[in-house]
Structure 1
Amino acid sequence: MNSDNSPVVLIVEDEPDVAETYKRWLRSEYDVRVAASGSEALDQLDGTVDVVLLDRMMPEMSGSEVLEEIRNQGIDCRVAMVTAVDPDFDIIEMGFDEYVTKPPDRDELEATVERLLERASLDDALQEYYSLVARRSALQAEKSTGELASNDEYDELINKIDTMRETVDASLGDMASNTDFVGAVREIMGDEELSTGDTETKENQE
């Protein structure tokens, strides 16, 4: 966030018309910056950047490489992949917070930024849990039940989610007296199975 307390959104997009459209949609609410390449994005990334909207397919340095560098450097920002590439099983190893398939409309892009800003206050366990769930959701939207069931990497992802859910449930259980906070977390995560004592998980129901 910058000095005037406006959240900072960095758009990383090599198509100028697309970048300008995103900027026009967001600039009334946020401090919007634009990078036309992966290397330019890394030059602009610092502690003031809150959200990165990252194109996956760019020349020279791909969005996946930029994302990996962001995570390796420990830069504390939320990242949404905004891309025309349909999600495949290779996204399981990516550390994004949301996956948005192009072309997003204005409402979708604004809602994505708003959600990511809300989630920025969550602790590390909740951030990691959400990232895992985002990868699962992207694949469930793209792949058939049979494709998911036959993929070992996807099975490992589901196991990680189950393991992380125990950690997150414990965290929420410790804060049970703070019903406003717990309720907000459930709403932000969009996953009702987070609540302690819930019945079957979504994976078991499927």
Structure 2
Amino acid sequence: MDTQDSPVVLVVDDERDLADLFTAWLSSDYDVETVYSGQDALGALDDAVDVVLLDRRMPDLSGDAVLAEVRERGLDCRVAMVTAVDPDFDIVEMGFDDYVTKPVSSEELHELVERLLARKQHDSAVQRYFQLVSKRAALDAQHGADAGDDPKYEALEAEIESLEAEVDSLTEEFSEDDFAAQLHRIGQDAAAEDDG
């Protein structure tokens, strides 16, 4: 494979076997770099990296801290948290692009990377919208109808609504997963209005 034109994916996970498995799954389609700690991730991060698959819970430096450093440096990469940590309302403040709870299959991992690479092509308003919709989907999956009771979730909803006007004309560029998540949400909203 000619890796010179391939997108660069950085896999960060302290579980070596899992990190190596992710690398094996992805290496036929991408130029994959693998590190086994948050500290090593900081050394591997540069402008060449397109996508970071980042575990949250690592002993030396958490994925949350690595993510904060990625955003602090202003690197133009998409970051997905791929973790065993169930999402809670703390994710609303985090700057990731997608959140996936382990276990994850090879197909799901490929779809995740492709989705993030597609998002990288969008302007910042669309990228922010996708980030927020992903957060809302993660919280909905974890907390169901109770998610709306938290003030952080309400703020998240308000920001999504304010961005929807900006990105409305670009909805045809949604991936199937993003589009399905948004349609599911619209259906829930309509059902809630009918019940109300």
TM-score, normalising length: structure 2: 0.89
Residue identity opposite 1:78 in structure 2: R
Q: Which residue of 2 aligns with 1:72?
A: 72
| Residue of structure 1 aligned with 2:178, choices 183, 187, 190 | 190
- 1:168 Cα deviation from its structure 2 partner: 1.6
Contact 1:130–1:189 (CA under 8 A) maintained in structure 2:
no
What is the DSSP-based 3-state SS (H/G/I as helix, E as strand, rest coil) of the residue aligned with 2:160? Answer: helix
- Work out the CA distance in 2 between the residues paired with 1:72 and 1:138: 24
- Residues 149 and 184 of structure 1, relative CA distance in 2, 3 Å threshold: closer
Are positions 1:26 and 2:26 aligned together?
yes
Deviations 1:155-187 (A, max 9, x none): 110001001112222xx2xxxxxxxxx464134
Alpha-carbon RMSD:
2.2
Deviations 1:39-66 (A, max 9, x none): 1111111111000000000012100111
Contact 2:3–2:31 (CA under 8 A) maintained in structure 1:
no
Deviations 1:55-114 (A, max 9, x none): 000012100111111111110000110000011111111111111111101111111011
- Work out the CA distance in 2 between the residues paired with 1:193 and 1:88: 18
Contact 2:12–2:19 (CA under 8 A) maintained in structure 1:
yes
Structure with bigger helix share is 2
Residue identity opposite 1:160 in structure 2: E
- Work out the CA distance in 2 between the residues paired with 1:13 and 1:62: 10
TM-score, normalising length: structure 1: 0.84
Residue identity opposite 1:156 in structure 2: A
Contact 1:119–1:188 (CA under 8 A) maintained in structure 2:
no
Residue identity opposite 1:127 in structure 2: Q
Gapped regions of structure 2 (runs ≥ 5): none
Contact 2:137–2:181 (CA under 8 A) maintained in structure 1:
no
What is the DSSP-based 3-state SS (H/G/I as helix, E as strand, rest coil) of the residue aligned with 1:191? Answer: helix
- Work out the CA distance in 1 between the residues paired with 2:107 and 2:135: 21
What is the DSSP-based 3-state SS (H/G/I as helix, E as strand, rest coil) of the residue aligned with 2:4? Answer: coil
Residue correspondences, number = 188
Gapped regions of structure 1 (runs ≥ 5): 173-181, 195-199
